[in-house]
């Protein structure tokens, strides 16, 4: 049995300078320690450098308020070792595909593409970033979320657009293409309508012609226009304001259950919460001054009435109505204008309801009525353009007019690629944005402001200019962005599958 080793002998085997030299185990400990520190740093650094957002993509903060029921259920949105953002650093064949995360989003959310033919290279989380607190907005995004594509738009499949955008300024944002031309087909003179009494304006700029007074308006409309002007006397000329025609919602008309009869077609509800103007409708804005009545009363006949032509009918439909109107007048005995034209029937023959001579007189009355509607300046032609053969050739006696009212095509929303909220701008005078309204004599003049007007407020603060928000999402939306009035649409938001409440709370 070997003699025991003493402590002195064991100490002699250990070099006194051992700590100054490294061995294999020590070297491995050092390498692995630095690797544990550098690997996460490298991962975050590469993700930061390769992303187009310039921010970190790892956060354990609380989710937004709309997702708080899943705040403690990470697997609802996340899959282990699989990124959810297209901007995250990804290792092919090792980590899962980030595009799969969008399928989890579509479990509850559905929405159309940004544009037709959009490539499938962006996930929902590329822009809608979570874990920034319950008060953070998922749709009010940083400009970098938009410019990651729009600063080089051709590289992202939008071949029809060739303008790169980096921020909202005249040097970095295109002019508003939606307002380059007016697609409407309507005759309207803003200058004349905004003058007291609406006098006609000659080519030399001088006014003349008959004036429109409050007492000239139908009684059911007088109080509405009287309340909008300073001079409320009956003999005061009608003075229209912008708000006389342009209203943000039906409530602006002051409609009650009693007054609703004055608006047979115009009251459609509080559309869009006041963001966009209500459409201009003949019954709401035009009828008081431009009634479509034909004065064909029979002399001495108290029962005969004026004939009011319904709006939104084509000339062929109006032709049938006119024939029925004058035929019915004769059949009711209101044919004072025909009393000298009636021919006695031959013996043994019953009188026809429409004798040839009577029929000719009815045809003449129809022709006169159509002349006053389509050729006189106070009829349909006062506002509308026509298509068809009789747009250039006169209507012959007894002929059904080959005439069609050209669709007015007046835009309900002018900024087709952006959103706008009139209510948010209601404290600003209308004429500050629509400066040409008082001088415009043609409906084809576009009076919608371009961006040089917008940047007076929506730009970085510089003295007395700017200061209002000017980020991309202030004016633009992503999904269904070209339908500002319609929005995405309720049907387009439907998920692919409906859930029971218990299953919905445990979505995975």
Q: Note the pLDDT tens digit of each residue in 44-66.
A: 777 666 655 555 555 668 999 99
Q: Would you say residue 302 has pLDDT above 60?
A: no
Instruction: Out of 405, 420, 455, pick the residue that ends a domain.
Output: 405
CB atoms near residue 28 (< 10 Å): 10
Q: How far is CA 164 from the centre of its chain?
A: 24
Find all residues with CB under 8 Å of 360, minimum gap 6, and list them: 341
The whole-number pLDDT of residue 34 equals 93
Number of domains in the chain: 2
Alpha-carbon distance of 426 to 423, in angstroms, equals 5
**Do 82 and 91 contact (CB within 8 A), yes or no?**
no
Find all residues with CB under 8 Å of 46, minimum gap 6, and list them: 89
3-class secondary-structure state, position 101: helix
β-partners of residue 237 are 213
Q: Which of 161-175, 225-239, 479-493 has the lowest mean pLDDT?
A: 479-493
Q: Among positive and negative, which fits the CA dihedral 340, 344, 350, 354?
A: negative
Say if 174 falls within a structural domain.
Answer: no
| Percent of the chain at pLDDT exceeding 90 | 18
The whole-number pLDDT of residue 406 equals 94
- For 320, the domain range is 293-405
Q: Give phi and psi for 49, each to the nearest 5.
A: -75, -35
Mean pLDDT of 355-372: 80
β-partners of residue 387 are 404
The whole-number pLDDT of residue 388 equals 93
Say if 143 falls within a structural domain.
Answer: no
User: Using CA atoms in the order 476, 482, 486, 492, what is the torsion angle rounded to 10 degrees?
Assistant: -100
CA distances from 204 to 209, 231, 344 (A): 14, 29, 58
Regarding whether 502 and 401 lie in a shared domain, the answer is no
Side-chain half-sphere of 311: how many Cα atoms within 13 Å? 20
User: What's the pLDDT tens digit per position in 212-246?
Assistant: 899 999 888 888 899 889 999 999 999 999 988 88
Find all residues with CB under 8 Å of 196, minimum gap 6, and list them: 211, 237, 238, 239
Q: Is 13 exposed, middle or buried (0-12, 13-18, 19+ CB in 10 A)?
A: exposed
The whole-number pLDDT of residue 185 equals 92
The model carries a pTM of: 0.71
Quick one: pLDDT band at residue 10, thresholds 50, 70, 90? confident
Q: What is the DSSP letter of 50?
A: H
Regarding whether 396 and 298 lie in a shared domain, the answer is yes
3-class secondary-structure state, position 256: coil
Q: Among positive and negative, which fits the CA dihedral 323, 328, 330, 331?
A: positive
Say if 53 falls within a structural domain.
Answer: no
Question: How many helical (H) and strand (E) elements, i.e. helices and strands, does the chain have?
Answer: 12, 6
The whole-number pLDDT of residue 405 equals 94
Instruction: Out of 376, 405, 434, pick the residue that ends a domain.
Output: 405
Alpha-carbon distance of 343 to 355, in angstroms, equals 7
Alpha-carbon distance of 106 to 102, in angstroms, equals 6
Mean pLDDT of 30-52: 79
Mean pLDDT of 398-425: 88
**Residue with the larger pLDDT of the pair 191 and 266:** 191
Q: Is 121 exposed, middle or buried (0-12, 13-18, 19+ CB in 10 A)?
A: exposed
Characterize 182-194 residue by residue with b for buried, 16 or more Cβ atoms within 10 angstroms of its Cβ, and e for exposed: beebbebebbbbb
Closest by Cα among 122, 140, 38 to 83: 122
- List alpha helices for 213-314, DSSP H: 219-226, 242-245
Mean pLDDT of 162-182: 87
Alpha-carbon distance of 264 to 260, in angstroms, equals 7
Say if 343 falls within a structural domain.
Answer: yes
The whole-number pLDDT of residue 328 equals 82
Alpha-carbon distance of 188 to 183, in angstroms, equals 14
Q: Would you say residue 303 has pLDDT above 70?
A: no
The whole-number pLDDT of residue 338 equals 47
Quick one: pLDDT band at residue 299, thresholds 50, 70, 90? very low
β-partners of residue 224 are none
* Mean predicted lDDT score pLDDT of the chain: 79
The angle subtended at Cα 460 by Cα 454 and Cα 465, nearest 5°, is: 60
Alpha-carbon distance of 221 to 243, in angstroms, equals 15
Say if 110 falls within a structural domain.
Answer: yes
Instruction: Out of 348, 373, 405, pick the residue that ends a domain.
Output: 405
In which residue are the tokens 């003049």 written?
Answer: 445
Say if 268 falls within a structural domain.
Answer: no
Q: Would you say residue 258 has pLDDT above 70?
A: no
Say if 381 falls within a structural domain.
Answer: yes
Please give the structure tokens belonging to residue 208. Answer: 């003349």
Q: Which of 37-46, 333-342, 467-476 has the lowest mean pLDDT?
A: 333-342
Say if 113 falls within a structural domain.
Answer: yes
């Amino acid at each position: 049995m070997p003699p025991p080793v003493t402590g002195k002998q064991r100490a002699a085997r250990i070099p006194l300078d051992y700590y100054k030299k490294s061995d294999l185990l020590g070297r491995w400990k050092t390498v692995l320690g630095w690797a544990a520190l550098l690997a996460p740093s490298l991962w975050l650094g590469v993700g930061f450098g390769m992303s187009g957002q310039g921010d970190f993509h790892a956060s354990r903060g609380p989710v937004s308020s709309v997702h708080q029921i899943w705040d403690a259920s990470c697997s609802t949105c996340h899959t282990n070792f699989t990124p959810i953002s297209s901007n995250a650093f990804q290792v092919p064949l090792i980590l899962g595909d980030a595009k799969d995360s969008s399928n989890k989003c579509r479990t509850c959310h559905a929405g159309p593409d940004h544009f037709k033919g959009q490539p499938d290279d962006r996930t929902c989380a590329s822009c809608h970033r979570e874990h920034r607190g319950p008060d953070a907005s998922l749709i009010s995004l940083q400009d970098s979320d938009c410019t990651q594509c729009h600063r080089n738009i051709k590289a992202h499949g939008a071949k029809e657009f060739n303008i790169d955008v980096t921020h909202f300024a005249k040097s970095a944002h295109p002019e508003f293409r939606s307002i380059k031309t007016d697609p409407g087909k309507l005759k309207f003179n803003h200058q004349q309508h905004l003058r007291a009494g609406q006098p006609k304006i000659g080519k030399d700029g001088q006014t003349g012609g008959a004036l429109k007074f409050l007492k000239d308006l139908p009684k059911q409309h007088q109080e509405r226009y009287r309340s909008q002007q300073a001079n409320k006397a009956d003999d005061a000329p009608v003075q229209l304001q912008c708000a006389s025609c342009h209203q943000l919602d039906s409530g602006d008309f002051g409609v009650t259950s009693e007054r609703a009869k004055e608006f047979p077609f115009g009251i459609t509800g509080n559309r869009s919460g006041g963001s966009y103007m209500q459409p201009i409708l003949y019954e709401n804005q035009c009828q008081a001054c431009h009634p479509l009545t034909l004065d064909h009363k029979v002399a001495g006949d108290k029962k005969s009435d004026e004939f009011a032509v319904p709006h939104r009918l084509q000339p062929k439909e109006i032709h049938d109505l006119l024939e029925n109107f004058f035929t019915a007048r004769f059949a009711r005995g209101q044919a004072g204008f025909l009393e000298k034209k009636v021919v006695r029937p031959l013996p043994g023959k019953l009188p026809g309801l429409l004798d040839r001579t009577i029929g000719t007189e009815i045809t003449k009355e129809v022709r006169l009525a159509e002349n006053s509607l389509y050729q006189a300046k106070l009829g349909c032609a006062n506002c509308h353009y026509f298509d068809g053969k009789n747009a250039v050739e006169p209507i012959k006696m007894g002929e059904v007019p080959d005439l069609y009212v050209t669709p007015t095509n007046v835009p309900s929303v002018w900024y087709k690629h952006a959103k706008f909220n009139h209510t948010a701008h209601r404290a600003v005078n209308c004429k500050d944005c629509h400066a040409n309204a008082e001088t415009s004599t043609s409906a084809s003049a576009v009076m919608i402001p371009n961006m040089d007007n917008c940047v007076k407020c929506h730009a970085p603060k510089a003295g007395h200019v700017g200061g209002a928000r000017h980020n991309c999402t202030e004016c633009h939306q992503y999904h269904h962005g070209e339908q500002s009035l319609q929005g995405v649409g309720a049907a387009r938001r439907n998920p692919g599958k409906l859930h029971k409440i218990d299953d919905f709370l445990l979505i995975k």
